[in-house]
Amino acid sequence: MPASLPPDRRQSPRENVGARRLGRAGFLGLVGAGGATLFYGKQISSVTNVVTKPFADATGLSRIVPSGGWRIYTVADTMPTFDRATWRLRLDGLVGRPLELSYDELLALPKAEQVSTFHCVTGWIVDGVHWGGVRFHDLLASAGPLPAARAAHFISAEYPYDDYLELSNLALPDVMLAYEMDGQPLLQEHGAPVRVVIPDMYGYKNVKWVERITLVPRVGAGYWEQRGYDVDAWVGRSNGYG
């Protein structure tokens, strides 16, 4: 091709034959369709997951990106680390016998297992998580809760994260202090060595990196409740949903 075309080889100027203003229609259509997914995103994702999840699983992508999987939310500038030799779980407050459990002492308690769904308040869900851990009545029995105790204050090693649950909620059949997830010891980003699992409430109630449980007369406002989240975090019935 010559570097510059002689004038006679140029095409004569053409008018914009049949020009239509399709650009704005396309823009508005896309914004409208995207805006609709704000309201129907969950239903759409359950449909698209049928296609994307097998693909992500087959390509190994699901081990990297959270396709229908976990996202890791933290509030501090570092993530707590776990040292099996020095780690202790403190149980105190309205108990007859305050105590500290080592990791091995915790594992020696009766082990419970369950498969449940994890709901985050921001909208993501993980189906069929296999948890292993200890039920709270087994855990708290050794400390002897006093009759005045009505709630538990969970304090995370991820300062200043904390939250509260009523003892009646801790007695629900699928609530536990978990130390295993999907057959493995809890990973650091999932709260190693122990986290709360209460499937009927949003994730922010499922405190990670629990290092102290204090029994108290009533629930208070935890980290996110101080920032406007609901104290009762029932899935589908709180935090602007339902």
Partner 1 sequence: MAETTARARPRPPARPRPRYVRRFTLTERLLHWVHASAFFVLLGSGLILYIPSLSTTFADRPLIKDVHFYTAVSWAGAMLLIALLGNRRSVLRTIREVDLFDRDDRRFLAGHTSSPQGRFNAGQKVNVIVTAAFATLFCISGMLLWLGERNTDIRLGGTLYLHDALMYLSVVIVVGHLYLALINRSTRHSLRGITLGTVREDWAAAHHAKWLDATPAGDAATTPVSDGPSP
Distance CA(135)–CA(162), nearest Å, equals 20
Distance CA(73)–CA(160), nearest Å, equals 14
Between 127 and 166, how does the x/- string for binding to partner 1 read (CB under 8 A)?
A: ----------------------------------------
What are the Cα distances from residue 18, in Å, to 14, 28, 129, 242? 11, 21, 57, 50
Strand, helix or coil for residue 172: coil
Q: Note whether 61 binds partner 1 by CB under 8 A.
A: no
Q: Which one, 145 or 191, has the nearer CB to partner 1?
A: 191
Instruction: Report 159-218 residues binding partner 1 (CB under 8 A).
Output: 188-189
Q: Note whether 123 binds partner 1 by CB under 8 A.
A: yes
Q: Note whether 42 binds partner 1 by CB under 8 A.
A: yes
| First and final C-alpha spacing in the chain | 66
Instruction: Report 77-116 residues binding partner 1 (CB under 8 A).
Output: 77-79
CB of 37 to partner 1, least distance (A): 5
Residue 201 in contact with residue 175, Cβ under 8 Å? no
Nearest to 140 by CA among 180, 176, 91: 91
Q: Which one, 128 or 228, has the nearer CB to partner 1?
A: 228
Torsions phi, psi of 86, nearest 5?
Answer: -105, -10
CB of 13 to partner 1, least distance (A): 4
CB of 187 to partner 1, least distance (A): 9
Q: For residue 179, what are its two tokens?
A: 């130390």
Q: Note whether 22 binds partner 1 by CB under 8 A.
A: yes
CB of 145 to partner 1, least distance (A): 31
Q: In terms of DSSP bridges, do strands 162-166 and 151-156 run parallel, antiparallel, or are they unpaired?
A: antiparallel
Q: Which stretch binds partner 1 (CB under 8 A): 86-94, 117-125, 132-140, 206-214?
A: 117-125
